[in-house]
């Protein structure tokens, strides 16, 4: 009985000792966090850049993006018609010069909002029509040459497909599809106006569309901009946190533990990230962001993206011996991360080994996660979230291990 009491008392003493230790530890961390904020505040220009610039970029995006810029810009084109030339039927050698579908097609091109007819050439009268059109394509004054072949009207008259040759400027990959869409629009108008039946009627409905009154190009652009900025700024803000702090060695003479130093740094920079994300969400919503999901989901998604940047930054800082080394690693990591994030080259077009590598990188998950929340109302918790969380956790653990084992000359 007495032994039992003694053991209970010992346990209680041990427990109260642990509690006191924990209290002391929390107190030290709180003080250290305050010190971190004082350090941050000392460089006001730096903190201003981190807090003010991201929302400012969103505001600039809001002003420079309009729906017109993405959808309604008409593609300059030249139509060259060979339809008035003599067509000789290979089967019966009968000659024909039918061309009565040319004018309806030209009218359709004029009617289309997506095409801007710069010039029409009748190749029967102007033998260098195609050369002139090609020169215009080379100079960049037009983006498409629409060539109506010699048998266009004849084919339609005989119940065969009428083909329009479409020569596109493919030097800019972004505009190939846009040009094809514009030409297809003119064909649709042509078919409707000339009442060519039977046709396939394609009735399209859009799901997850951005409602009227919201700028669709701003909404689709902000997805990339948000993940890009939150990750990048959290990353760059933290690359020097350990490596540049001179009093760390002296701090180690105090009762402050290494884990407490690093925890306080994480807490301080997470609070900065929290403020940054809050400002970004508020600015985006006030600039006309259409959010199908919840604000909380968007907030958590941005926070986890930023946290992965923060974890990577602290990791680099903890294992760099000098500021220069930290800067070098930052540059190398950042260039690789943005170039393999899928923004410039779709990840699915990369070879499999590179795809594997790209999916490990945090920014490859930011874009699809935010897009899902903003446009489809998906919840934040999903594969991308867990992946970012795991990457961040691994980086945090490694940076703690490195920092604990690091030698400082006191």
CA distance 154 to 76: 28
Q: Whose Cβ is closer to another protein: residue 28's or residue 224's?
A: 224
For the CB of residue 26, give the shortest distance to another protein in the complex, in Å: 28
Q: Whose Cβ is closer to another protein: residue 271's or residue 339's?
A: 339
Q: Whose Cβ is closer to another protein: residue 93's or residue 173's?
A: 173
Check if the beta carbon of residue 28 is closer than 8 Å to that of residue 36: no
Q: Whose Cβ is closer to another protein: residue 25's or residue 327's?
A: 327
Of the candidates 223, 220, 355, 393, the residue with the CA atom closest to the CA atom of residue 301: 223
For the CB of residue 296, give the shortest distance to another protein in the complex, in Å: 19
For the CB of residue 42, give the shortest distance to another protein in the complex, in Å: 9
Q: Whose Cβ is closer to another protein: residue 181's or residue 259's?
A: 181
CA distance 285 to 55: 11
For the CB of residue 408, give the shortest distance to another protein in the complex, in Å: 21
Query: What is the greatest pairwise CA distance in the chain?
Result: 122
Check if the beta carbon of residue 262 is closer than 8 Å to that of residue 400: yes
For the CB of residue 378, give the shortest distance to another protein in the complex, in Å: 7
Q: Whose Cβ is closer to another protein: residue 28's or residue 36's?
A: 36
Q: Whose Cβ is closer to another protein: residue 28's or residue 374's?
A: 374
Q: Whose Cβ is closer to another protein: residue 63's or residue 255's?
A: 63
CA distance 48 to 36: 16
Both tokens assigned to 203: 């009735």
Q: Whose Cβ is closer to another protein: residue 53's or residue 275's?
A: 53
CA distance 175 to 152: 27
Q: Whose Cβ is closer to another protein: residue 235's or residue 266's?
A: 235
Of the candidates 126, 108, 130, the residue with the CA atom closest to the CA atom of residue 117: 108
Both tokens assigned to 123: 């190749």
What burial class does residue 339 get, using C-beta atoms within 10 Å of its C-beta: 0-12 exposed, 13-18 middle, 19+ buried?
A: middle
Q: How far out from the chain centre does Cα 370 lie?
A: 9
DSSP-derived secondary structure for 319-371: H-SSHHHHHHHHHHHHHHHHHTSSSSS-GGGS-HHHHHHHHHSTHHHHHHHHH
For the CB of residue 373, give the shortest distance to another protein in the complex, in Å: 11
Check if the beta carbon of residue 364 is closer than 8 Å to that of residue 347: yes
For the CB of residue 179, give the shortest distance to another protein in the complex, in Å: 8
Q: Whose Cβ is closer to another protein: residue 265's or residue 371's?
A: 371
For the CB of residue 94, give the shortest distance to another protein in the complex, in Å: 20
For the CB of residue 10, give the shortest distance to another protein in the complex, in Å: 50
CB atoms near residue 68 (< 10 Å) = 10
Check if the beta carbon of residue 274 is closer than 8 Å to that of residue 303: yes
Q: Strand, coil or helix: what is 116?
A: strand
User: Half-sphere exposure of residue 98, counting CA atoms within 13 Å on the CB side?
Assistant: 15
User: What is the dihedral sign for C-alpha 269, 275, 279, 282?
Assistant: positive
For the CB of residue 228, give the shortest distance to another protein in the complex, in Å: 6
For the CB of residue 24, give the shortest distance to another protein in the complex, in Å: 31
CA distance 54 to 19: 42
């Amino acid at each position: 009985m007495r032994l039992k009491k003694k053991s209970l008392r010992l346990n209680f003493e041990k427990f109260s000792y642990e509690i006191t230790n924990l209290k002391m530890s929390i107190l030290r961390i709180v003080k250290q966090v305050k010190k971190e904020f004082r350090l941050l505040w000392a460089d006001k220009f730096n903190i201003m850049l981190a807090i003010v610039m991201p929302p400012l970029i969103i505001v600039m995006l809001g002003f420079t993006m309009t729906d017109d810029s993405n959808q309604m810009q008409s593609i300059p084109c030249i139509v060259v018609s060979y339809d008035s030339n003599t067509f000789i039927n290979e089967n019966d050698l009968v000659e024909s010069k039918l061309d009565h579908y040319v004018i309806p097609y030209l009218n359709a091109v004029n009617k289309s909002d997506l095409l801007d007819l710069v010039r029409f050439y009748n190749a029967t009268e102007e033998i260098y029509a195609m050369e002139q059109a090609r020169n215009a394509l080379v100079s960049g004054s037009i983006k498409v040459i629409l060539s109506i072949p010699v048998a266009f009207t004849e084919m339609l008259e005989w119940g065969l497909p009428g083909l329009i040759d479409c020569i596109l400027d493919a030097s800019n990959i972004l505009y190939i599809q846009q040009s094809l869409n514009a030409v297809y629009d003119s064909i649709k108008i042509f078919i409707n106006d000339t009442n060519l039946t039977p046709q396939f009627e394609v009735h399209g409905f859009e799901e997850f569309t951005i409602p009227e009154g919201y700028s669709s190009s701003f909404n689709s652009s902000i997805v990339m901009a948000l993940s890009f900025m939150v990750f990048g700024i959290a990353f760059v803000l933290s690359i020097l946190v350990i490596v540049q702090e001179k009093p760390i060695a002296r701090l180690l003479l105090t009762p402050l533990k290494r884990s407490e130093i690093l925890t306080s740094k994480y807490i301080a920079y997470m609070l900065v990230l929290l403020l940054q994300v809050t400002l970004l969400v508020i600015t985006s919503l006030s600039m006309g962001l259409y959010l199908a999901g919840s604000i909380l989901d968007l907030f958590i998604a941005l926070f986890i993206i930023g946290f992965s940047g923060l974890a990577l930054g602290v990791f680099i800082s903890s294992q760099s011996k000098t500021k220069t080394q930290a800067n070098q690693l930052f540059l190398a990591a950042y260039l690789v991360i943005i170039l393999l994030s899928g923004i410039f080259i779709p990840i699915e077009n990369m070879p499999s080994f590179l795809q594997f590598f790209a999916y490990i990188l945090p920014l490859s998950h930011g874009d699809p996660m935010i897009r899902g929340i903003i446009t489809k109302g998906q919840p934040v918790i999903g594969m991308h979230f867990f992946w970012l969380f795991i990457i961040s956790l691994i980086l945090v653990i490694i940076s703690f291990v490195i920092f604990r084992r690091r030698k400082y000359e006191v």
